[in-house]
Amino acid sequence: MARLFGTDGVRGVANGHLTAEMTLGLSVAAAHVLAEVGSFEGHRPVAIVGRDPRASGEFLEAAVVAGLASAGVDVLRVGVLPTPAVAYLTGALGADLGVMLSASHNPMPDNGIKFFARGGHKLADELEDRIERIYHEHAAGEPWNRPTGADVGRVREYDEGFDNYVAHLVGVLPNRLDGLKVVIDAAHGAASRVSPEAFARAGAEVITLGTDPDGLNINDGCGSTHLDGLRAAVVAHGADLGVAHDGDADRCLAVDAAGDEIDGDQILAVLATGMFEAGTLRKNTVVATVMSNLGFKLAMGREGIGLLQTAVGDRYVLEEMKRGGYSLGGEQSGHLIVLDHATTGDGTLTGLMLAARVAATGRPLSALAAVMERLPQVLVNVPDVDKARVATSAELATAVSEAERELGETGRVLLRSSGTEPLVRVMVEAPEIEVARTVADRLADVVKRALG
């Protein structure tokens, strides 16, 4: 039986793979599992439920609310808000769990469900496994222990969630954004109201794109996966910078005044150096994944900032941050975590902090981002190979060693097995794109021969 939970909740085509019945059942299972581990002990449990603007979110939200209330959980519906807002409100209101309905940067037909525990933290793998196991048991016919009468959950709207979250975002900024002109592309997603309001309250002049969700246009040619519109708007309006979110606004990419992209590694570098100077970068160390550009690693070394690298995935970044007590981490994709102010990646907070750094220094974003040189990176996917033998193939190990000697300290080779497909990803970085491409293609040929 295929596992339901992926790296970020349960996701699939809404009303196809992800049905109302599944969503209701998972919500009931989550309530029972959290009750069993003592999360609800001694009090009546409360859940925060939010969603992005997808049309399917309307019926899936109804299923979540029905499932939780039928399990005896009181529900506060916060409506359309970003994923990090649901996480924040779960912690700030002392709720026992949070539920977010979103498929992030995926196209509109998809949707997803993710759960947060008390404090607004993502569930541990073992809890997700227990939820999935109990869900399957009851889907097969085992009856639930259902409360009745006054013990069923009650449901009410919590309209204050928007203002509470925006006030939190603005309140944690180190300085105001007065004098900055910022273009925001919210991908017709969950940050369509939040991000423009937060930037405006912080003092910025705001120009908006992708802030008119109709349930069908989320991520459609806009947002962090389609930056062309943002680039053009920043240049046309003479803005200082632009920020782009994905559908649930847990990510942020940016463009500078010239319309050039500033990716997640560069944003992380700008924030890390600023926090290092301010003394707020705990242990003078930043956490990133192995996919971060080598230029980021070299830059952190020059600036005297420590770097810890994890497996790919924001959950691994967060685990390392919590384990070691670090305050900043993130991915090249723009999923950054500022752990002093958020329990998960927060695209609006990231954009605000980036703009605050521009305002505080009086330097253009391009100059700040120049702290790191983004080395050319080539990624080749090699399909239909035995990915399980990547670590044991002597021929492949020899080829990788030869490539690493050829590239020296100014280049890098990374081979990764896909977690969901029968393919191996070959990534090569080098000072020149032609060199990176040549080495990547050569290694891809070895992967095909050795693992095919």
Burial tier of 396 (Cβ tally within 10 Å: 0-12, 13-18, 19+): buried
Q: Is 104 annotated as a binding residue?
A: yes
Residue type, 398: T
Residue for token pair 């990915």:
387
Neighbours of 126 (CB within 10 A): 10
Beta strand 261-262 with 110-117: parallel, antiparallel or unpaired?
unpaired
Q: Is 185 annotated as a binding residue?
A: no
Residue type, 187: A
60 vs 114: CA distance, rounded Å = 12
436 vs 212: CA distance, rounded Å = 41
CB 86 within 8 A of CB 98: yes
Q: Is 248 annotated as a binding residue?
A: yes
Question: DSSP states of 242-292 as a string?
Answer: EEE--TTS---EEEETTS-EE-HHHHHHHHHHHHHHHT-SGGGEEEEETTS
To the query of whether residue 104 is one of the catalytic residues in this protein, the response is yes
CB 86 within 8 A of CB 343: no
Of 27, 104, 327, 333, catalytic: 104
324 vs 202: CA distance, rounded Å = 32
Beta bridge partners of 162: none
Q: Is 346 annotated as a binding residue?
A: no
Residues forming the active site: 104
Give the residue numbers of the binding site: 104, 246, 248, 250
Give the residue numbers of the binding site for Mg(2+): 104, 246, 248, 250
